[in-house]
Structure 1
């Protein structure tokens, strides 16, 4: 598959490139990444170079994982990443600390989700999301993008060392399930 560019009112989602390595390295050294993500830890420039120079282009070419850089509407520097793992149709994302709190990730997640469910990935009728328990910021993004929280038999997420941690899970279909807000109430309450 060839990389696809998506645009929203405030964002351009395009192919990550090697020129993004310095900022990716900086963002991925955030202590929250150690706690909640599966990125290598400690994260180094070599990790960013391998991710951007090999993994991302090879994954787009094979269709295994589609990864977008999140940038301002005019392009510019990378602010974060969002991807869909094709085999499970699973959405994953992160945003650099300086860019959090203004709804940018919810906007990006909604754009990618709508693209996938509109035929961007052939045969995808739903998308999955999961995150380590306690990652309420990620849960808020999933809720804003229309994901309904579910409780599978084994609610876990893999860790970087091959283990698992307790996790929250959600699913998004088209149209958006009317039970979305209610499904999140046990962990997010009624806040928006």
Structure 2
């Protein structure tokens, strides 16, 4: 499904704890603050140093990608506090294949946020976007992200070079097929 606009779910995706909605200008300050985190900078290819202008450009880029149908990027927000950004999750779309990534703000870690968001995104991408497979690229030392992927029904499928700075072959690929029987989850991750 490329070439046509993607439409954000209406109402936004939610499990009662987290809600996924498109990014807005109101998220810029919290994106900027989150992307100062050394763990996000270690595992996500963000500009360093990360400036407010980077967050503003990111929000504009996500708007274009929704309109182009190439990527669905969601702010992960607290379902009870719609002003509280907890993280980000997206899925880039190329035909029936999606490539997803996520991060959780330092102040929101340890609460199962990534797993909840990944389950919501996965179910939506398979049911509403029509994807057949979703891939995750995860660094092998990112044990928390590997655990989230595994608990959400993703399986290790191989390795890939994802370190854009050094070119090292150090990435793991996890995949989930629309036809996988692994449920999108009982209980928090």
Could you say which TM-score interval applies, normalised by the shorter chain? 0.7 to 0.9
Q: Does 1:157 align with 2:166?
A: no
Equivalences for 1:64-83 in 2 at 5 Å? 64-74=70-80, 75-83=82-90
1:49 corresponds to: 56
Q: Does 1:62 align with 2:68?
A: yes
Q: In the aligned structure 1, how far is the partner of 2:42 from the partner of 2:24? A: 26
Q: Does 1:89 align with 2:98?
A: yes
Q: In the aligned structure 2, how far is the partner of 1:36 from the partner of 1:67? A: 18
Q: In the aligned structure 1, how far is the partner of 2:166 from the partner of 2:22? A: 28
Q: Does 1:37 align with 2:44?
A: yes
RMSD: 1.8
| C-alpha distance after superposition, 1:93-151 (max 9, x if no partner) | 00101101111110110110011111x223x1111011122011111111121101112
- Unmatched tracts of structure 2, length 5 or more: 1-5, 183-188
Structure 2 length normalisation: TM-score? 0.85
1:121 corresponds to: 129
Equivalences for 1:168-179 in 2 at 5 Å? 168-176=172-180
Q: Secondary structure at the match of 1:105?
A: helix
2:121 corresponds to: 112
The Cα shift of 1:164 comes to 4.9
Bigger helix fraction = 1
Q: Secondary structure at the match of 1:169?
A: strand
> Aligned in 2, Cα 1:162/1:48: closer, same or farther, shift over 3 Å?
farther
Pick aligned residue for 2:170 from 166, 172, 175: 166
The Cα shift of 1:66 comes to 0.5
The Cα shift of 1:163 comes to 3.6
| C-alpha distance after superposition, 1:133-180 (max 9, x if no partner) | 20111111111211011125xx22142x484541111100134356xx
Question: Is this contact kept in 1: 2:161–2:167, CA < 8 A?
Answer: no
Question: Is this contact kept in 2: 1:132–1:156, CA < 8 A?
Answer: no
The Cα shift of 1:33 comes to 2.1
1:2 corresponds to: 7
